[in-house]
Amino acid sequence: MIRLLALLLAAILAGLVYGEVHLPLSAIRQWDGAAELLIGVIRAPRVAVAVLAGAAFGLAGALLQSLLRNPLASPDVLGFTSGAGLGAMLVVALGGGAFSVTLGAASGGVLAALAITALSWKGGIVPLRMILVGIGAAFTLQAITQFMMTRLTEAEAVEAARWLSGSLAARHWGHAFQIGLCLALLLPLAALSLRALRLLELGDEVATGLGLHITRARAGIAALAVALVASAVAVAGPVPFVALLAGPLAARFGAPMLTGAAVVGAVVTVLADLAARGLIDGVQLPLGVMTGILGAPYLLWMLSREMERGRL
Amino acid sequence: MRLQAKGIDVAYDGRRVIEGLDLTIPDGKVTAIIGPNGCGKSTLLKTLARLIRPTKGQVLLDGQDIHAAHTRDVARKLGLLPQSPLAPEGITVADLIARGRAPWRSLLGRWSPADTAARDAALAATALEDLADRPIAALSGGQRQRAWIAMALAQDTPILLLDEPTTYLDLPHQVDLLRLLGRLNREQGRTVVSVLHDLGLAARFSDHVIVMSGGKVLAEGPPSEVITASTLATAFGLEAVVIPDPIANTPLVVPV
């Protein structure tokens, strides 16, 4: 865990210091006008949003993966993220402000989660059915989102396209404050859900025997994950794969399940954003393209492993 | 008597498995539920443990409908060990046992000295002290089953329900486990109810035997009264001679 926190600190520093415009160390030390503008106004809020949104994605992924006992069950694979993206996009198209975009993302996420759960229901939640339905639903939701974009003016469409691929360009302190507030409300609930998860992982019968109301606990944890995804989508767009990668990567570091996934989510997002804006000279790629490059091979590897084990 | 079933019908997968069953579990005794495959004995245990809700009638715990009571209050009185439970990856013996304390801990409550005492008592009762820090996955089958029983013991309930606790164990470990359950009953006064497959072991290690057949209780009482040639013929369709066990004088089933 200490290694992960050190990594996060290093990633944050790198995110502040490196960028398209090179800033000599002497300028940073003197904190002149250029440093103030580049770091204080442009990069710091961007890195802050990356840390907070990445942590929210990572946490949401770990919650769902643990709830459904399947490493594929992250909100992006299950289609929740696409639902939140569509909801937010509709509000953006209608000209809503920051608060209503968050609400739009939350409603989209909740509706997608309910629809996907209902469509895959077979006398209860069957994780693999839910994953397959979710993958299909994600494509459908993205198609609807694309269709909605044709209804926008060209300028709006360009802006929407950039946002939909998951981007941290032009984030300001207002965005950081917004996701910070959401996390301040949701993190205590995540701490509470940890105890329920520890019982649920012993199986439904043992958990019931130990006095857990399993249906209520499941619904609560799923709702929490959707709320976390919606908060992150509202400020960073539907960034793919961070939620999927964070939990398993944290486990590889031997870090505690939820806090580890939050820190890894933050590290991955900050580093991916750094790569997105610095990898190709003069080109600012959206963050989502970078996490896609990282995450897609991992998803393929996971799918083939699950198939080999005969679980898919 | 603390645990009772009153006129229960239970359906499982849309099929009615138990019909109009009345039952009283004797307090402070070791009870075995036996019967042929598909007779509803596991379903009965799950219904008594509130995992399945009866379609008719009710299960009473201390005179109150078990589904009307708060599930956490029930968990302080009644512990349950399902058939072949699965441990999460990497969990240690001590960690598994600690989770048995869940019904006694408040939402934000910290781990208390009472929790430590209960965990250590459970480790001692199951002779797992030296293996406390081992992962469950590294244990033998017999040790693993003892670790799960230790978890149920840490829950500190006067009633303990176990679904086929001896499955997948070899004979010496089956005997060890049933002796352990007997000690928990004698030394700590716990009511123990297990579904068992082996008639000989049920006869030898129980005070009270419930024989089920076709979703009904066919006979119940002390092993010497219940395990007879005629009950075996009716319940299992097994032709057998029952003779006294030369060591314990309990009934011994010898198939013809």
Is the per-residue pLDDT at A276 higher than 90?
Answer: no
User: CA nearest A86: which of A223, A237, A222, A225?
Assistant: A237
Task: State the total domains in chain B.
Answer: 2
Query: Considering only CB atoms, which chain B residues are within 8 Å of A195?
Result: 102, 105, 107
Answer whether A211 sits within 8 Å of B79, measured CB to CB: no
Q: Is residue B247 one of the residues assigned to a domain?
A: no
What residue numbers bound the domain in which B223 lies?
1-77+157-228
In angstroms, what CA-CA distances link A186 with A56, A122, A196? 9, 30, 16
Looking at the complex, does the CB of residue A124 fall below 8 Å from at least one CB of chain B?
no
Q: Is the domain of B131 the same as that of B12?
A: no
DSSP state of B103: G
Contact yes or no for A203 and B46 at CB 8 A: no
Distance CA A128, CA A133 (A): 9
- Cβ atoms of B122 and B154 closer than 8 Å: yes
Domain co-membership, B59 together with B102: no
Q: Which residue has the tokens 């005070």?
A: B207
Residue B233 makes CB contacts below 8 A (sequence gap 6+) with B239, B240
Domain ranges of chain A: 2-308
Residues B3 and B112 in one domain: no
Asked whether residue B47 is assigned to any structural domain, the reply reads: yes
Residue A311, pLDDT above cutoff 70: no
pLDDT tens figures, A290-299: 888 888 888 8
Of B75, B105, B107, the CB nearest to A192: B107
What mean pLDDT comes out for the span A222-233?
92
Q: A158 or B46: which carries more pLDDT confidence? A: B46
Q: How many CB pairs under 8 A join A and B?
A: 60
pLDDT in tens, A79-104: 999 998 899 888 877 877 777 888 88
What residues of B are in contact with residue A201 (Cβ under 8 Å)? 88
B51 in any annotated domain: yes
Contact A199 B102 (CB under 8 A): yes
- For residues B212-241, b (16+ Cβ closer than 10 Å) or e, as one string? bbebebbbbeebeebbbbebbeebbeeebe
Q: What is the mean pLDDT of chain B?
A: 92
- Of the candidates A198, A205, A211, which has its C-beta nearest B82's C-beta? A205
The CA-based dihedral angle spanning residues A262, A263, A269, A272, taken in that order and rounded to the nearest 10 degrees: -140
Same domain? B60 vs B123:
no
Same-domain status, B151 and B94: yes
* Confidence at residue A310, expressed as pLDDT on a 0 to 100 scale: 67
Average pLDDT of the segment spanning A246-270: 91
Percent of chain B with pLDDT over 70: 99
Determine the CATH number of domain A2-308. 1.10.3470.10
Residues B67 and B13 in one domain: yes
Residues B147 and B203 in one domain: no
Distance in Å, alpha carbon of B38 to nearest chain A alpha carbon: 20
Helix (H) / strand (E) containing A182 = helix A173-200
Tell me: do B168 and B213 sit in the same domain.
yes
If asked whether residues B168 and B148 sit together in one domain, one would say no
Q: What percent of chain A has pLDDT over 90?
A: 37
Q: Which of the four pLDDT bands, split at 50, 70 and 90, describes residue B9?
A: very high
**Higher per-residue pLDDT: A33 or A55:** A55
Q: Report the C-alpha gap between A284 and A277 in whole angstroms.
A: 5
- Give per-residue pLDDT as tens, A4-34: 999 999 999 888 888 777 777 777 777 777 7
Instruction: Name the domain boundary from B133, B156, B179.
Output: B156
- Closest CB to A199 among B76, B87, B99: B99
Contact A202 B75 (CB under 8 A): no
What's the rounded Cα separation, in Å, for the pair A164 and A148?
12
pLDDT 10s digits, B95-118:
999 999 999 987 777 888 999 999
Q: How far is A192 from chain B (nearest CA, A)?
A: 7
Optimal mutation site among A201, A208, A212, A257, interface B, most CBs of chain B within 10 A:
A208
Out of B74, B78, B85, the one facing A202 most closely (by C-beta) is B85
Give the range among A186-190, A237-241, B73-77 with minimum mean pLDDT. Answer: A237-241
Residue B108 three-state SS: coil
Distance CA A225, CA A217 (A): 12
With CA atoms as reference, the chain B residue closest to A198 would be B99
One domain for residues B54 and B175: yes
CB-based contact A306:A312 (threshold 8 Å):
yes
Look over chain A and give the mean of its residue pLDDT values, rounded to a whole number: 87
User: Shortest Cα distance from A177 to chain B (angstroms)?
Assistant: 28
Q: Do residues B107 and B197 both lie within one domain?
A: no
Report the pLDDT value the prediction gives residue A155, as an integer from 0 to 100: 80
Q: B-contacting residues of A 3-22, CB under 8 Å?
A: none
Average pLDDT over residues B41-52: 94
Q: What is the pLDDT of residue A158?
A: 79
pLDDT (0 to 100) of residue B110: 81
Sheet of B191-195, strand order: B78-81, B159-163, B191-195, B30-34, B208-213, B216-221
Q: Is pLDDT of B157 > 90? A: yes
Model pLDDT for residues B165-210, shown as the tens digit of each residue:
988 888 988 998 999 999 999 999 999 999 998 898 999 999 999 9
B216: three-class secondary structure by DSSP: strand
What pLDDT, on a 0 to 100 scale, did the predictor assign at position A312?
A: 60
Instruction: Check residue B226 and give its pLDDT.
Output: 93
Looking at the complex, report in whole angstroms how far the Cα of residue B256 sits from the nearest Cα belonging to chain A.
Answer: 39
B251 in any annotated domain: no
Query: Quick one: average pLDDT of B115-129?
Result: 92
- Residue at B89: amino acid letter: E
Mean pLDDT of A238-242: 90
Question: How far does the CA of residue A198 sit from the closest CA of chain B (Å)?
Answer: 8
